Chain A
Amino acid sequence: MTIVAMGTVAFDEIMGSDGAARAELAALGRWLQTTPESELRRRQAAAEATFRQLGITFAVYGESEASERIIPFDIVPRVFLPDEWARLSEGLVQRVEAINAFLDDIYGERRILKDGVLPAELIFGNPQFRPEIAGMRPPHGVWAHICGIDLVRTGPDAFFVLEDNARTPSGVSYMLENREAMLRLCPELFRNFRVAAVDSYPDRLLETMKSVAPEGVSAPTCVVLTPGHYNSAYYEHSFLADSMGIELVEAADLVVDDDIVWMRTIAGRVKVDVIYRRVDDDYLDPLVFRRDSMLGVPGLIAAYAAGNVAIINAPGNGIADDKAIYSYMPEIVRYYSGGAAKLPNVETWRCREPQALRYVLDHLPELVVKLVDGSGGYGMLVGPTASSAEIEAFRAALVAEPHRYIAQPTLALSTVPTMADRGLAPRHVDFRPFVLTGSRGVQVVPGGLTRVALREGSLVVNSSQGGGTKDSFVLMEAPGAQTQSQSQSLGGMTQVQTLGGAAC
């Protein structure tokens, strides 16, 4: 089939910039050329039918009906070359280690403030800094066990961190289900390319959970805590519990007694040692966070403070992935790692700073303006595509409450060929790799969630705003060229670097 509308200004990850597939991906280019469009559509439809059947759905906010949609799936994978991935991984490990060190410091000694790297009011005035857990330290000193780092790309080696997710990053089930669909529907691709496996993720996650169990627990009981099946990410919660072979609990299934967490079973109480919670801090423990709430597990934080349970990710992590903190991440990474950040940020104007605010107000039509405390693509202005009325509305909001906003340039985000109404066409993508941190180190899963903006020219990839997903191939070195000394392969995952002894 022919590929239409290729060769726009943005870097295309498969087609390169001159309309022909990048040399390393010539085979993929041929696959796209020779596979009939109808066949690609058929496979895509088959994948989506499976997702619907499995109930891989999400609820859309603001729609009253029990609307359960699947996230559109695109059949064309996005591909990372081995060396691209190796460099990316190094940057991710460095960043996640810094995030963990930052959290340990900010809720403990606060050296980074004493050394004047961050303005103190940025922390203390920030609702994401939770004084309720100050002085508490998670087992083994690990805070951000599961990080999803959102990246965008503008060129072969130009990756930028768009956002850190150190609370309860979601999307890993799509990584796994998308891969399963691709293996089933496009087996020929896996014969042509050596794609790193992602299916050991649940084992790695369970291993990570067990590694951070409280001291002295030899066979820890691990559970996944979900807000319940009305939650938009419930499928993922159950999927993860299922694939790890552990219980999926709701708050009402847990009870704290004598600073120990128990779950209620048909045969009585069972002690719980590690909780992978997919519940916000606010709804963890009504004795500590939202005292007006009837949700949560009363006493959970007391059990955590007593060191009797590990909570994954640790409470209070919101301060590390806060949008106001984000702009300081290069300084934070440098402070804790001793070197420059290997993965740069997207240039960010902090509207709380008068000079930055002036610049932003003067350049609104070119910028993306975001609420510091917003998420999911809501409360966001995309200057180049906004109407003048929208721009003026944001201008007023910015002037009224500048501290709530940051602004970034609109980048020429990379594209990947994507099935559109009139055949394959380039669509902008972003990427969320998943990084696991246990007591024995940090590991990057060789894959991740690629989100694609399905509308032509759109930069908004959020599933709630009409985005879709793709499988993300991480190619391994050709067998002959593999250099074992650089990275130790663990069942498809790569242990890149270990944490310093201090955290263990």
Chain B
Amino acid sequence: MTIEHRAVYRFAGAQAGLVQALRLTPPTSDDQTVVRWRIDVDRDARMRPGRDGFGNAVTMLYVDAPLDRLAIEVTGEVLTSNAHGVLRGATEQLPPALFLRATEATPADPAIAAFAHAVAAELEPLAALHAVNAAVHERFVVAPVGDASRPLAEAFADGTVDPVEATHIFLVAARSLGRPARYVSGYRQADGETVASPHGWAEAYVEGIGWIGFDPLLGRSPEEAHVRLATALDAGGASPVAGVPVEEA
């Protein structure tokens, strides 16, 4: 699969300089092989490779000159194979048990827990997670919403959620069932498209199987069309570009 992604960021005001953490490098697993990969920016910048606490590859981007916009271009080629959503051969820095914890963006919520328990009923863990994923997909209209910082409970009560909220609802639901769950940021090549675009989904852990992908936006598990970049407890932690609040132009 070919990835060509160009994002231009404009800042609310001119910045004296810039420090950003880019999680834009895909990890290798049994079903994801990186053939070639590069990150370019349209400024004089220093880039330093590193790794965050979740084990994600992080590129620190330093620009030491005034700027009010920045274009980041990612090009590469990744070979993927369909593993029915099961993650195999990936290196893990943290144990699954960590991914039971709530975060500010994904707080434990009684309404979401009740929803999860109603859907999961007596199902086996894997089937229950698939059922929750399908239920989130069916229940919500996914569309951009005005207030990106509203509490998740409010989003859940509303019928319309943005893509990140949908995935966060799945995470909270899975955790309420005792399943470790995490956010995945990456790319997805939609049906009929020739290039992939940024996308986010979830992974949940089932004892005996491992980490399994769930894409609440599609209502099914990710397939060859998904390229994983980074994982964390929520979308913020796995954010492909973290730094000064920016608006994508």
Contacts and interface: CB of A to CB of B under 8 A. Distances in A.
User: A–B direct touch, CB within 8 Å, in complex?
Assistant: yes
Interface of A: 110, 120-121, 124-125, 127, 129-136, 255-259, 287-288, 291, 298-299, 302, 305-306
B62 A132 contact: no
B95 A120 contact: yes
B53 interface: yes
A134 B243 contact: no
Given A257-B46, A287-B21, A135 B242 contact: no
B60 interface: yes
Nearest to B104: A292
Contact of A306 (B50, B52, B98): B50
B150 interface: no
B152 interface: no
B62 A134 contact: no
Contacts of A259: 48, 50, 60
A131 B52 CA distance: 9
Interface of B: 17, 19-21, 46, 48, 50-55, 58, 60, 62, 64, 93-95, 97-98, 100-101, 233, 236-237, 239, 242-244
A131 B48 contact: no
Contacts of A256: 19, 62
A120 B236 CA distance: 25
B50 A124 contact: no
A156 to B, nearest CB: 45
Given A130-B53, A258-B62, 6 more contacts: A131-B54, A132-B54, A134-B93, A255-B19, A287-B20, A299-B19
Q: Which of B21, B60, B101 has the most CB of A within 10 A?
A: B60
Given A120-B95, A135-B93, A302 B60 contact: yes
B53 A125 contact: no
Nearest to A133: B53
Contact of B95 (A124, A135, A291): A124
Contacts of B53: 130-136, 288
Contact of B98 (A124, A135, A255, A288): A124
A134 B54 contact: yes
Contact of B21 (A124, A258, A302, A306): A302
Given A256-B62, A299-B62, A287 B243 contact: yes
B60 A299 contact: yes
13 contacts: A110-B95, A120-B95, A125-B100, A130-B53, A132-B54, A134-B53, A134-B54, A134-B55, A255-B17, A287-B243, A291-B236, A291-B239, A291-B242
Contacts of A305: 50-52
Contacts of A129: 98
Nearest to A129: B98
B50 to A, nearest CB: 5
A257 B64 contact: yes
Given A135-B51, A302-B60, A258 B98 contact: no
Contacts of A257: 17, 19, 46, 62, 64
Contacts of B239: 291
Contacts of A136: 53
B55 A135 contact: yes
Contacts of B48: 258-259, 302, 306
Contact of B97 (A124, A135, A302, A306): A124
A299 B100 CA distance: 27
B100 A124 contact: yes
B46 to A, nearest CB: 4
A284 B178 CA distance: 32
Given A258-B62, A259-B48, A127 B243 contact: no
Nearest to A130: B53
Given A120-B95, A287-B19, A287-B243, A131 B233 contact: yes
Contacts of B242: 287, 291
B101 A124 contact: yes
A258 B46 contact: yes
A305 B243 CA distance: 17
Nearest to A113: B95
A135 B98 CA distance: 14
B51 A131 contact: no
Contacts of A287: 19-21, 242-243
Nearest to B232: A131
Contacts of B46: 257-258
Given A257-B46, A259-B48, A287-B242, A120 B54 contact: no
Nearest to B64: A257
Contacts of A110: 95
Contacts of B243: 287, 298
B52 A288 contact: yes
A218 B218 CA distance: 57
Among all A-B residue pairs, the 10 with the closest Cβ atoms: A298-B19, A134-B53, A299-B19, A132-B53, A124-B97, A124-B98, A258-B46, A302-B60, A259-B48, A287-B21
Nearest to B16: A255
Contacts of A299: 19, 21, 60, 62
B93 A302 contact: no
